[in-house]
Amino acid sequence: MTIKINSESEFHSATAANWELDKIVQELRNARNDWRSLRGRTREPGLRELPSRDLLQQIIRDLCGALFPMRLGPQELREESEDYYVGHTLDAALNQLLQQVQLELFYVARQQGNNGHDLALKAQANSIVRTFAAALPNLRRILDVDIQAAYQGDPAARSVDEVLLCYPGVLAIIHHRLAHTLYQLDVPLLARIVAELAHSLTGIDIHPGAEIGSGFFIDHGTGVVIGETAVIGERVRIYQAVTLGAKTFPTDEKGHLQKGLPRHPIVEDDVVIYAGATVLGRITIGKGSIIGGNVWLTRSVQAGSSITQASSRNLVPQEANL
């Protein structure tokens, strides 16, 4: 049997009927309601429950423009109007960030069984964003050191401007320093979203909890993983596919993973870690050490060490909290 369609509206109606959309929409609603019911989730009508990944992406883009207006700002910007642009952009970005911080605080309050809409939470959100904003000038200065380290560390780099505009490692560290500031201000969900935006763009996965000193350079970058409790000193350089990960995942008496325990490496100042190296556990890589490519390392090494695949097999085990 042939169905005759005489107009575009009839075509859309026939297509919708073919898909049985009313039934599918109802079943999807039932699935959502079952999931929420099992977890005791309730939501006020019209209230957005979680922060927006898309809006955070725009906020970070605007913050990057405010930090580096003549390089990451709009094409039409001129130096004489920099301050106006920075002020206007920051005002918009920080107001949007305030809304996202409020959403996270409200969400956490509801998870804890509270209403989550009192004035105290709004005041807390305001304080968080004020502190975040006040940290931006110092963050810019640290990023300048990171960018200079990338320029000096790569003979292929022709200028610091090229490094800022082109290098995925620099984009990742900008995101990380913003995300880490949010993490320190106790909005970990926002921080994690910002970190994962960089991960999606660059293939570099840095948990926002990781502590990273200035002058940090990730060359090439794809496949780099840095865990939540990693501590990295000053002037550290790492290459693609390096992992600073956990060796073990302790559990409690019920078998649940214990979260937040120190489980990732400490990398002291002036260390270089070459491509493909895997460094696991709460071990210490001593100052000025060089870790060769594709090394698998689960033991601490002294300052000034040079570790290759061959030498790593002969390391004497140390009493380290892995």
Q: Residue 257's pLDDT is what?
A: 79
Of 165, 261, 150, nearest to 209 by C-alpha is 261
CATH pick for 223-322 out of 3.50.30.10, 2.40.30.260, 3.40.710.10, 2.160.10.10:
2.160.10.10
pLDDT given at position 178: 98
Give the Cα-Cα-Cα angle 98, 99, 105 (nearest 5 degrees): 90
Residue 36: the pLDDT is 83
pLDDT at 172: 98
End-to-end, the C-alpha distance of the chain in Å comes to 70
What is the reported pLDDT for 225? 98
Residues in a beta bridge with 233: none
pLDDT at res. 10: 63
3-state secondary structure of 306: strand
| Contact yes or no for 309/294 (Cβ under 8 A) | yes
Q: In the prediction, which pLDDT does 43 show?
A: 62
The reported pTM is 0.87
CATH 1.10.3130.10-classified regions of the chain:
51-204
Helix axes of 82-111 and 53-67: crossing angle, nearest 10 degrees: 150
What pLDDT is attached to residue 19? 87
Rg (CA), the chain: 24
Enumerate the CATH 2.160.10.10 domain ranges in the chain, comma separated: 223-322
What confidence score (pLDDT) does residue 42 get?
65
Collect the ranges in the chain with pLDDT lower than 50.
316, 318-322
Gap between the Cα atoms of 257 and 235, Å rounded: 33
The pLDDT score that the predictor gives to residue 49 is 81
Q: Compute, in degrees rounded to 10, the torsion defined by CA atoms 226, 229, 233, 235.
A: 20
Kindly tell me the burial class for residue 117, based on how many C-beta atoms sit within 10 Å of its own C-beta (0-12, 13-18, 19 or more). Answer: middle
Question: Residue 11 has what pLDDT?
Answer: 57
| Residues paired with residue 251 on neighbouring β-strands, in sequence order | 257
CATH hierarchy code of domain 51-204:
1.10.3130.10
* Interatomic CA distance for residues 163 and 151, integer angstroms: 6
